[in-house]
Amino acid sequence: MSMIEVKNLKKSFGGDIVLDGIDFRVEKGQTVSVIGPSGAGKSTMLRCLINLETADGGDICISGNYLMKDGHYVSDKQRRAVCARMGMVFQNFHLFPHLSVLKNLMLAPVNAKKLTHEEAHQKADALLKKVGLDGKQKAMPSELSGGQKQRVAIARALMMEPDLLLFDEPTSALDPQLTGEVLAVIQELARENMTMIVVTHEMGFAKGVSDKILFMGDHRIIEEGTPDEIFNHPKDARITEFVSKIL
Amino acid sequence: MNYIFSLTMSMMEGVQYTVGLFLITVLFSIPLGLALTLLRNSKNGVFRGVTGFYVWLMRGTPLLLQLFFFYFGLPNLPFVGQYLVLGRFEAACITFILNYAAYFCEIFRGGILSVDAGQYEAAQVLGFSKWQTNFKIVFPQMLKVCLPSISNECITLVKDTALITAISVTEILYFAKAAVNRDTNATAYIVAAVFYLIMTYGLTRLFRWLERKFHY
Ligand SMILES: Nc1ncnc2c1ncn2[C@@H]1O[C@H](COP(=O)(O)OP(=O)(O)O)[C@@H](O)[C@H]1O
Ligand SMILES: [Mg+2]
């Protein structure tokens, strides 16, 4: 059973079609990168997967549990249960600015009664260590650099122990010299076989870390393949053009 | 000196109504204002319409008129009037709570609009319920933005409490006016002014402290 299976996913805003039948699957432990020109619908696709946008049609199935089947969403309660298996990291971090780093991490699992206060505290300490931010527990988000904020955001998502982690351009808001520290954390997660879908413009990263790459353009997945297939033997001219422009 | 001292002592009796009205109004109108804000921002058009009308009505008419309406007007309504006879201080409290809730509603609405949409999305993907999102994420951020306006509103409220002298509640200004009439001497007004200044100064300091505390 795939970790995520998407069939014929459709979405339009007003009359504008943004997703025109998306099909793909991600197996447990895979890292899948999504690349493609701006406006292709990459963010919208991720947002549909985690229920931040309401899709118009298709199937979304997360390790055997449907979020949407034949264009019909499951009940609100089931939706929440399905989405609880996923975490998301945003381009602009969206840390809670009024809470310390530690509280940013602890709030969700304590709220959801997933962990006790003490357990959450311990887990937060461990995750901060993992992302290289041990000692920043008491810092406020406004005191952190962009790279540090994004690493806190990743740790915050990991607190909920998701089966699948979605990243929407996690380094696009960062100064170039800060992207490396964030990509290193994602790479480490890939090594630990975290299942991830990463929308990114970092071609070197996509090449190095991905089990599979989806190239999106014109509201569809134009091609899917290994990094070697996409970067060295693309079938579609649009990929050649995109890759040459971005490198 | 003795005269000022005796004026001060008599006005101290009025302080309980002034401070009482202030505290009761703040205590009830802030949560009520918050509830109105949620209705005002709700998806339900009827709720939005009704709260919009309410805010328009309360902010668009004089507080003194509302006070007269609740104290003198209600008992004169046909049929139900006899059940709506309120004590002076009760009428004052109800009027002030209803009036100030409308102002707080508008203040909070602006504050909530200033909270970034990404905060709601982050909360949603982390599994927060609507209540948890509001109370743990949105309201604290809204409060920071609103504090200066809340502070202004509270200072206005201190001064507005003097209006209830018009329905003969024995607050500070009531005693001042009585003393001035009795003694044909304006000193009592100055003593009353000092009372109000002390209260508004205290509030200003309190809010400055709160703003520092909420700074992040
Ligand atoms: N909330 C929205 N309302 C209307 N149009 C939107 C909305 N979100 C995205 N779009 C449109 O959908 C298209 C795809 O956007 P997006 O998914 O952000 O692309 P990408 O992430 O690949 O750059 C764009 O044309 C964008 O203008
Ligand atoms: Mg995007």
Q: Where are the domains of chain B?
A: 2-213
Q: Is residue A43 within 6 Å of ligand 1 at its C-beta? A: yes
- A246 pLDDT tier (thresholds 50, 70, 90): confident
Q: In what order do the strands lie in the sheet with A4-13?
A: A16-26, A4-13, A57-62, A65-69, A72-73
Minimum Cα–Cα distance from A166: chain B residue: B125
Q: How far is A167 from chain B (nearest CA, A)?
A: 12
pLDDT score, position B68: 97
Q: Is the pLDDT at B1 greater than 80, yes or no?
A: no
The sign of the dihedral angle between the CA atoms of A115, A116, A119, A123 is positive
Chain B residues at the A interface, defined by Cβ less than 8 Å, are 116, 118-119, 121-122, 124-129, 132, 136-137, 140-141, 144, 214, 216
pLDDT score, position B152: 96
- Which residue from B124, B144, B214 is facing A52, i.e. has the nearest CB? B124
Q: Is the pLDDT at B141 greater than 90, yes or no?
A: yes
Mean pLDDT for the stretch of residues A219-231: 95
Q: How far is B194 from chain A (nearest CA, A)?
A: 38
Nearest residue by C-alpha to atom 8 in ligand 1:
A44
Q: Which CATH superfamily does the domain covering B2-213 fall into?
A: MetI-like (1.10.3720.10)
The sign of the dihedral angle between the CA atoms of B26, B29, B35, B37 is negative
Residue A47 to residue A60: CA distance in whole angstroms:
12
Q: What is the ipTM score, two decimals? A: 0.94
Q: Answer for the pair B142, B111: CB distance below 8 angstroms, yes or no.
A: yes
Atom of ligand 1 nearest to the CA of A37: 22
Please give the distance, rounded to the nearest whole angstrom, from the Cα atom of residue B60 to the centre of ligand 1. Answer: 42
Percent of chain A with pLDDT over 90: 97
Residue to mutate among B115, B116, B126, B139, with most A CBs inside 10 A, is: B126
Mean pLDDT of all residues in chain B?
Answer: 95
Q: Which tens digit of pLDDT belongs to each residue from B71-122?
A: 999 999 998 888 899 999 999 999 999 999 999 999 999 999 999 999 999 9
CA proximity to A2, closest of A19, A25, A24, A23: A25
Cβ–Cβ gap A83/B121 under 8 Å? no
- B214 pLDDT tier (thresholds 50, 70, 90): confident
Please give the distance, rounded to the nearest whole angstrom, from the Cα atom of residue A103 to the centre of ligand 2. Answer: 28
Mean pLDDT for the stretch of residues A192-213: 96
Residue B175 to residue B192: CA distance in whole angstroms:
9
Ligand nearest to the CA of A40: 1
Q: Which tens digit of pLDDT belongs to each residue from A139-190?
A: 999 999 999 999 999 999 999 999 999 999 999 999 999 999 999 999 999 9
Scan for tokens 């959801």, then name that residue.
A112
Residue B149 to residue A103: CA distance in whole angstroms:
28
